Structure 1
Amino acid sequence: MELDWGLGEYEGTGEVLLPVSEVVVGMSEPLAGRRVVDLGCGTGNAALLAAGRGAVVTGVDPAKRLVEVARKRAAERGLQAEFLVGDAGSIPVEDRAADLLLSVFAVIFAPDARAAIAEMTRVTAPDGVIRLTSWVPGGSMMTITQVAGKFMSEVFGGGGQPAGPKPFAWHDEADLREAFATHGFQVELERHSISVTAASPEEYLENSARHPMAVSSAQALASRPDGDELGAELARQLLVAVREVNEDPAAFKVSNEYAVVTARRG
């Protein structure tokens, strides 16, 4: 089942990830007059940054609630931007309509990666650019996420192993080049890093509990007769994990590399 990103409160995560949108939008300047599509716009970080630089912006997200949040944020800032409900498998934008297509930690969650790549290349103008971000495995933040994923997989019959075909490696330059080459695009990749801080490991977990993934997991566990026990065990395992990867003994800090992927027609 595809995750409902409208669950919980993604707004806090959006604030944490704002620096990544600033990096990606900064790499894409100048933007005045350019047509920008923010795919998986969430609360509108990248879309609003681009609109503030004079771009003609369309934000697209599958979660209706987040689209409404992004619209409200644009209105509060006096920015002109269009926000539409839609997903990466069927972007509600005409062929070759985007001079710049951005996707900050969004398209990487598309159920069908190759269909999403086909759609992104379809809506990108002949001289346009696609720029997306993806997490790089191995960092502290990904370690925490993997603990939760393994636990849920074991509880619901996955034995700790992902079901179905191997997920597309959005961080892998060779895989990206092969997938985009099918559509006549060349790919470049560079790495950056982001850190997340909190007063303590416990505060970090409390904040993380409002993320759509965490809320979805909590709902799934609550549907079981042993849901309370399972929820407590997951909380215990997560606390152990965040303490192990904590980079700041006086408070809490975790870091993770991410890839900025840029694709253009060859």
Structure 2
Amino acid sequence: MGTPTTTWGVGDYPAMARLLMPAAEAVVAAAGVRPDDRVLDLATGTGNAAVLAAQSGARTIGVDLEPTLLALARRRAADAGLTADWRVGDVIRLPVPDDSADVVLSVFGVMYASDHDAAARELSRVVAPSGRVALAAWTPGDFLPAMGQVLAAYLPPPPAGSVPPSRWGDRDSVGRLLEAAGLRVTSAVPQRLHLSFADGDAATSLLIDTAGHIVAERNRLVAQGRWQAMRADLRSFVDDRGVTDGDHFRLELEYLMVTATPATTAAA
């Protein structure tokens, strides 16, 4: 499948992508994808939203930085008898022309852009004047952003001047971000995603194994004698945030579902 070029290709991210599929379904439904729509799925990963769009008969392009994930998306679409175009690219410099998408989607993807303002401008550039945008982003302080704070003591710091990805999951912040790029938010609705596990230990293992930025630091943390401490801190966090439901252990994750249109269209 090739060698990963980013930490997104390290570890078992596809296992997490499978758990996130309900959010992709919600985003595609919110966008109202129709047959023959030109759909662009940004930071597509293993292709959750892109595959759903292709299943709807849309002409779909999936873009991602990580070639190994795109290879999985390409195989997944082929196995399902679907046609889609998979392109390696960055959300701050998309490899597509202006006004080339009737629908732009991103499910927990564009929020991780290295430059949020540039990514928002790219959304605006590629969406057609009558097009629509639908995004999902984790809300500030909820499970995954808070998990990042727990792990901060063990992982390399973010680049200087970087902005938290959950900026895209805050109604006011994302509204200002998109408005500055020429897009108007038409709805911003919190949604919840429920992940079920056998127990807290299984949940902790999956969170570690599917996070490439954690897996990439394993050798260093083991050598420093800190790997087990990191795991124990994460397990404690998981236990605090989790819900025991009969024979299952559940994590509840909140995200913001955002839809937007070009501002000139919204004002018309």
TM norm. shorter chain > 0.5: yes
CA distance in 1 between counterparts of 2:135 and 2:6 reads 20
CA shift at 1:167, angstroms?
3.1
The reply on whether 1:109 has 2:112 as its aligned counterpart is: yes
For the 8 Å contact 2:138–2:144, the answer to whether it is kept is: no
- Range with bigger deviation, 132-141 or 231-240: 132-141
CA shift at 1:29, angstroms?
2.2
For the 8 Å contact 1:208–1:214, the answer to whether it is kept is: no
The reply on whether 1:259 has 2:256 as its aligned counterpart is: yes
Identical pairs, percent: 33
CA distance in 2 between counterparts of 1:5 and 1:102 reads 19
The verdict on how the C-alpha distance between 1:24 and 1:134 changes in structure 2, with shifts beyond 3 A counting, is same
Aligned to 2:244: 248
CA distance in 2 between counterparts of 1:84 and 1:47 reads 12
The verdict on how the C-alpha distance between 1:126 and 1:238 changes in structure 2, with shifts beyond 3 A counting, is same
The secondary structure found in structure 1 opposite 2:9 is coil
Give structure 2 stretches of 5+ with no counterpart: 264-268
CA shift at 1:90, angstroms?
0.7
The secondary structure found in structure 2 opposite 1:72 is helix
* Structure 1 runs, 4 residues or longer, greater than 4 Å off: none
CA distance in 2 between counterparts of 1:49 and 1:213 reads 27
CA distance in 1 between counterparts of 2:173 and 2:242 reads 31
For the 8 Å contact 1:3–1:216, the answer to whether it is kept is: no
- State the one-letter code of the partner of 1:234: M
CA shift at 1:141, angstroms?
4.2
The secondary structure found in structure 2 opposite 1:96 is coil
CA distance in 1 between counterparts of 2:203 and 2:33 reads 36
CA shift at 1:162, angstroms?
8.3
Summarize deviations over 1:125-147 as a string: whole Å, max 9, x none: 01111111110123344433331
For the 8 Å contact 1:142–1:256, the answer to whether it is kept is: no
Which of 90, 93, 108 lines up with 1:90 in the alignment?
93
**How many matched pairs?**
255
The secondary structure found in structure 1 opposite 2:260 is strand
- Range with bigger deviation, 45-54 or 202-211: 202-211
The verdict on how the C-alpha distance between 1:165 and 1:88 changes in structure 2, with shifts beyond 3 A counting, is closer
Which of 135, 140, 150 lines up with 2:138 in the alignment?
135
For the 8 Å contact 1:133–1:260, the answer to whether it is kept is: yes
Aligned to 2:168: 170
CA distance in 1 between counterparts of 2:208 and 2:170 reads 29
CA RMSD in angstroms, aligned pairs only: 2.0
- Range with bigger deviation, 97-106 or 212-221: 212-221
- State the one-letter code of the partner of 2:154: M
Summarize deviations over 1:171-229 as a string: whole Å, max 9, x none: 2222222222223221131111101110011111222222223212324535xx42xx1
Aligned to 1:31: 34
- Range with bigger deviation, 23-32 or 79-88: 23-32
CA distance in 1 between counterparts of 2:240 and 2:84 reads 43
CA shift at 1:124, angstroms?
0.6
Which of 73, 78, 82 lines up with 1:79 in the alignment?
82
For the 8 Å contact 2:30–2:134, the answer to whether it is kept is: no
Q: TM-score when scaled to structure 1?
A: 0.89
Aligned to 2:216: 216
For the 8 Å contact 1:39–1:61, the answer to whether it is kept is: yes
Give structure 1 stretches of 5+ with no counterpart: none
- State the one-letter code of the partner of 1:164: G
CA shift at 1:32, angstroms?
0.4
Aligned to 1:63: 66
CA shift at 1:30, angstroms?
4.3
- State the one-letter code of the partner of 2:176: E
The secondary structure found in structure 2 opposite 1:59 is strand
CA distance in 1 between counterparts of 2:178 and 2:59 reads 25
The secondary structure found in structure 2 opposite 1:73 is helix
